[in-house]
């Protein structure tokens, strides 16, 4: 399963949402943590309400680390890791988990690759042993590589090539990040997927699938004192990668003006407009910049009480949907998306002009005190429910640590959100929503529309 980067609740990849991170104006649960002698970081989030655990291994490697010309290689391993080892037959990993009453899966983003199992507490050692086994013992037979390549090619065709919105989104990202790896799709470009071979895959696996490049997160009916002996015995014996490469990604040149792209497809029944802006993230921002940006975009377009929705849908009746989202999770930066779908008889040109007017007013005047309070409350309310899930907590701690944040940043997030001021919101919004650094995309039916 491909994973987009963590974002606000309106994004498709919602179980990594920003809202997961704030549960009231107080600290998040503070996990226990330790590091094994081979460099593997371990995070334990104790939850005794049920005899169940969520076991996750996060590798600090994702599509952003794909070597030039080998896009899709990180995602390829999301498939290959289930093909078998010297001790586990192909496909037997998931069958064993299922036979023991558990579920498992994996996901990839630009910043990490993660594998998880949710299972009864008395089966924890079983999944730990299997996960440790495939960390270094994966078998990559030529026939497995060939079969999984075909599966991935079909996945790309179904999810991207046959989806007009996904095609447009892929083109927009490539324009917004022409040099950064964030402009390359996680699943990879089709022609490069076809070129991935055993030597390239083997080198990638031997380098990055190592304990000193991994974070073990276990949430549920266990504490650090109980987990540590297991972790040391099972994971602690795995040899680390010596001279693990630093994660150094190229960056993009300064923007030179607004960019536009349109995509027409017979499958499109209703046109729409989307605009992307590059943004800071919790890793690249300073102070409360990322917190302020998330609060700001919640006000602008995060719900049906937001400015964009109220103005475009409810007041002016120019759109059937409208909103905005922030993705502030990337280790190398984030993005903001603004989007709208016109009502019948409304041109995209008219809708875009109204959208620009609302954004301009927001940049000029900033949020009201009521909007600021409501946005903070909305983020907290959405998070209270998510915080109650051990899976959500395991996800948020694992993803944030893999992206370069510290435990302290995660734990104190709710307090920092509460401290965000109107001036901080206004400052980061004016910096981010700069039309000269944006990409605007139009999704059009065959009959066309306003360009």
- Which sequence positions are flagged as catalytic? 78
319: CB partners within 8 A, 6+ apart: 312, 313, 340, 341, 342, 343, 346, 351
d(CA 307, CA 301): 6
d(CA 133, CA 59): 15
d(CA 430, CA 283): 20
SS3 assignment, position 28: coil
SS3 assignment, position 437: helix
d(CA 304, CA 438): 24
The answer to whether the beta carbons of residues 376 and 311 sit under 8 Å apart is: no
Q: In what order do the strands lie in the sheet with 214-220?
A: 32-35, 41-46, 214-220, 52-59, 113-120, 103-108
**How many Cβ atoms sit within 10 Å of the Cβ of residue 246?**
5
Widest Cα–Cα separation across the chain = 67
Which residue, among 309, 343, 341, 313, has the nearest Cα to 324 in the 3D structure? 309
| Pairing mode of beta strands 52-59, 41-46 | unpaired
The answer to whether the beta carbons of residues 130 and 191 sit under 8 Å apart is: no
Q: Find the helix packing angle between 142-156 and 198-208, rounded to 10°.
A: 90
Written in H, E and C, the secondary structure of 101-146 is CCEEEEEECCCCEEEEEEEEHHHHHHHHHHHHHHHHCECCCHHHHH
**Distance from the Cα of residue 106 to its chain's centroid:** 13
The answer to whether the beta carbons of residues 186 and 108 sit under 8 Å apart is: yes
**How many Cβ atoms sit within 10 Å of the Cβ of residue 307?**
20
d(CA 345, CA 9): 30
d(CA 282, CA 291): 8
d(CA 218, CA 391): 9
222: CB partners within 8 A, 6+ apart: 44, 46, 53, 121, 124
């Amino acid at each position: 399963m491909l994973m987009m980067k963590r974002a606000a609740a309106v994004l498709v990849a919602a179980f990594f949402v920003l809202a997961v991170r704030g549960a009231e104006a107080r600290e998040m649960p503070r996990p226990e943590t330790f590091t094994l002698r081979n460099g593997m970081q371990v995070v334990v989030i104790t939850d005794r309400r049920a005899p169940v655990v969520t076991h996750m291994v996060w590798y600090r490697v994702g599509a952003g680390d794909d070597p030039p010309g080998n896009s899709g290689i990180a995602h390829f391993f999301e498939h290959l890791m289930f093909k078998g080892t010297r001790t586990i037959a192909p496909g037997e990993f998931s069958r064993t988990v299922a036979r023991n009453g558990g579920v498992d899966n994996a996901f990839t983003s630009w910043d990490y690759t993660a594998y998880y199992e949710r299972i009864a507490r008395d089966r924890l050692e079983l999944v730990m042993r299997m996960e440790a086994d495939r960390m270094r013992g994966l078998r990559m037979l030529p026939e497995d590589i060939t079969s999984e390549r075909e599966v991935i090619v079909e996945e790309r065709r179904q999810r991207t090539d046959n989806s007009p919105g996904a095609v447009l989104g892929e083109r927009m990202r490539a324009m917004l990040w022409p040099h950064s790896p964030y402009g390359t799709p996680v699943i990879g470009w089709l022609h490069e997927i076809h070129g991935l071979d055993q030597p390239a895959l083997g080198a990638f696996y031997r380098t990055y699938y190592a304990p000193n490049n991994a974070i073990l997160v276990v949430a549920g009916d266990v504490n650090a004192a109980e987990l540590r002996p297991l972790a040391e015995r099972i994971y602690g014996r795995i040899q680390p990668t010596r001279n693990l490469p630093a994660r150094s990604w190229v960056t993009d040149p300064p923007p030179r003006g607004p960019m536009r792209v349109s995509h027409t497809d017979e499958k499109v029944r209703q046109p729409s407009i989307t605009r992307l802006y590059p943004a800071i993230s919790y890793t690249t921002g300073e102070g409360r910049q990322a917190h302020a940006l998330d609060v700001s975009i919640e006000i602008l377009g995060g719900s049906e009480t937001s400015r964009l929705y109220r103005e475009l849908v409810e007041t002016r009746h120019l759109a059937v949907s409208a909103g905005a989202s922030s993705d502030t999770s990337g280790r190398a930066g984030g993005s903001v998306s603004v989007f709208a779908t016109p009502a019948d008889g409304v041109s995209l040109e008219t809708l875009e002009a109204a959208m620009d007017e609302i954004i301009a007013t927001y940049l000029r005047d900033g949020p009201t005190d009521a909007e600021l309070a409501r946005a903070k409350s909305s983020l907290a309310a959405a998070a209270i429910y998510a915080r109650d899930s051990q899976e959500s907590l395991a996800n948020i701690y694992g993803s944030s640590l893999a992206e370069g944040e510290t435990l302290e940043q995660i734990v104190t997030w709710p307090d920092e959100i509460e401290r965000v001021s109107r001036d901080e919101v206004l400052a980061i919004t004016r910096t981010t929503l700069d039309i000269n650094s944006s990409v605007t995309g139009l999704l059009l039916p065959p009959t066309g529309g306003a360009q």
